[in-house]
């Protein structure tokens, strides 16, 4: 028995089915819709609401680039954490705490609240 005559009807049915399914899809517009960016965004959109700066980051931001020994770690009136490049830290968030991130040489690379 020759399997070729059985394949032809199955291929024909598959081809017709694929064509019918493609015809049911959404039509693609010929020219894309041009959006004017001045009209797309409403004017006067409100700013995002932000938390107050409870850790007073502006007072310690100047220490970035300095050795961690220059930072007022013990004299600040809020919690402080010094985090080295390979240190493991807890994930609890304290909005009053100041985090000093240091590199391998003990230089402060960034500060953040948390």
Which is it for strands 108-113 and 98-102: parallel, antiparallel or unpaired?
antiparallel
**CB neighbours of residue 55 within 10 Å:** 22
The per-residue pLDDT for 49 is 66
Q: What is the pLDDT of residues 4-14, one digit of tens each?
A: 566 777 778 88
Residue 94 maps to a domain: yes
Residue 18 maps to a domain: no
Number of domains observed in the structure of the chain:
1
Higher pLDDT, 61 or 29: 61
Residue 13 maps to a domain: no
CATH number assigned to the domain comprising residue 100: 3.30.10.10
In which domain, by residue range, is 87 found?
57-113
Is the entire prediction scored with pTM above 0.75?
no
Residue 96 maps to a domain: yes
- Tell me the average pLDDT across 30-40: 64
The per-residue pLDDT for 101 is 95
Residue 88 maps to a domain: yes
Q: What is the pLDDT of residues 59-103, one digit of tens each?
A: 889 999 999 998 888 888 889 999 999 999 998 999 999 999 999
Residue 3 maps to a domain: no
Arithmetic mean of pLDDT over the chain: 80
pLDDT bin (cut points 50, 70, 90) of residue 105 is very high
Closest by CA position to 114, among listed 102, 97, 101:
97
Residue 75 maps to a domain: yes
């Amino acid at each position: 028995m020759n399997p070729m005559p059985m394949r032809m009807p199955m291929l024909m049915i598959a081809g017709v089915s694929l064509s019918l399914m493609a015809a049911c899809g959404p039509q693609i517009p010929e020219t894309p819709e041009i959006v004017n960016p001045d009209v797309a965004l409403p004017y006067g959109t409100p700013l995002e609401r932000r938390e107050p700066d409870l850790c007073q980051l502006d007072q310690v931001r100047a220490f970035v680039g300095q050795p961690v020994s220059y930072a007022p770690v013990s004299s600040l009136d809020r919690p402080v954490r010094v985090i080295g490049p390979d240190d493991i830290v807890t994930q609890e968030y304290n909005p009053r705490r100041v985090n000093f991130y240091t590199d391998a040489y003990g230089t402060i690379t960034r500060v953040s609240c948390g």
